[in-house]
Structures are given as C-alpha cells and as structure tokens.
C-alpha cells in the first residue's frame, strides 16, 4: 500500500461499487441513504470519504457483513482484485454462517409445494376456506 493510497479521497458509494459489494453506484447510494450501510459505527452519507482501516457494516438481504477497508479504488475492478480491497471480520463470518444454517433449518421444517395449484385445486381451496 503506497502513500498515495492514503492521500487519495474516494467517496463511500464509489468505493462500495468499485469493490463489487453493490451492482451499481446508484444502488450503493440508495443503500447508504436508507441506513443499510454504517461507516465506523455511524450512519453516513454517500459522499463520505473512506479511509484505509475503516469498518463498514452492510446489510444485504438477510445478512449483515462487517468489513474492514484494506485498499482504496475509484474505478470498478475485476472480481479477484476487488476481493483484495477489503476483508470480512471473523465474527461477521461466523455470525452469517450461523444465520444461514438457521434459515436452512427453518426452511426444511416448512416445505414448499412443488408447483402452484391448478384451477381445480384452487377452486377446492376457495371452497374449503369459505366454509367457516
């Protein structure tokens, strides 16, 4: 990491987009403005300048990731390079794995039907529900 990395200013929304944490910069801005991204434990604006070593907490779907910024990047880079821009904390990894296992267990206890009911089955369901 060179000294120029520390001197360069990169917006938070631009960095999240370049690190491939969000598909578009507009989506990154929306997530930051919506309170789904916290920078060093605080809610922030998309224009916030990021620093190496800062902690960023992201909520993506059911998961919450805590990452530490290792390098800065203004332009979107390839996935292997983007993976080197940050690292996820060990506590965050274990918490996400536990949550995923819990969701999987919960999903197995509530099986989903293989297909949608056909017209005859829908009529039977409606008839059954209306006989209160």
Domains of the chain: 3-96 (3.10.290.10)
Coil, helix or strand at residue 39 = strand
pLDDT by position in tens, the chain (length 132): 444 545 678 999 999 999 999 999 999 999 999 999 999 999 999 999 999 999 999 998 889 999 999 999 999 999 999 999 999 999 999 999 999 999 988 888 887 888 999 999 999 999 999 986
pTM of the prediction? 0.76
Tokens linked to 26: 């507009």
Give me the helices (H) in 34-118, please.
79-82, 90-109
């Amino acid at each position: 990491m060179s000294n120029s990395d520390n001197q360069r200013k990169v917006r938070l929304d631009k960095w999240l987009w370049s690190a491939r944490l969000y598909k578009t910069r507009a989506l990154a801005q929306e997530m930051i403005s919506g309170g789904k991204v916290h920078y060093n434990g605080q809610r922030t604006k998309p224009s916030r300048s990021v620093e190496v070593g800062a902690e960023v907490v992201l909520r993506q779907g059911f998961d919450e990731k805590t990452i530490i910024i290792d390098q800065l990047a203004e332009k979107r880079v390839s996935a292997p390079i983007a993976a080197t821009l940050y690292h996820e904390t060990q506590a965050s990894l274990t918490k996400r794995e536990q949550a995923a296992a819990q969701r999987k267990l919960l999903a197995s206890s509530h099986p989903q039907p293989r297909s949608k009911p056909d017209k005859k089955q829908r009529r039977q369901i409606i008839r059954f529900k209306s006989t209160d």
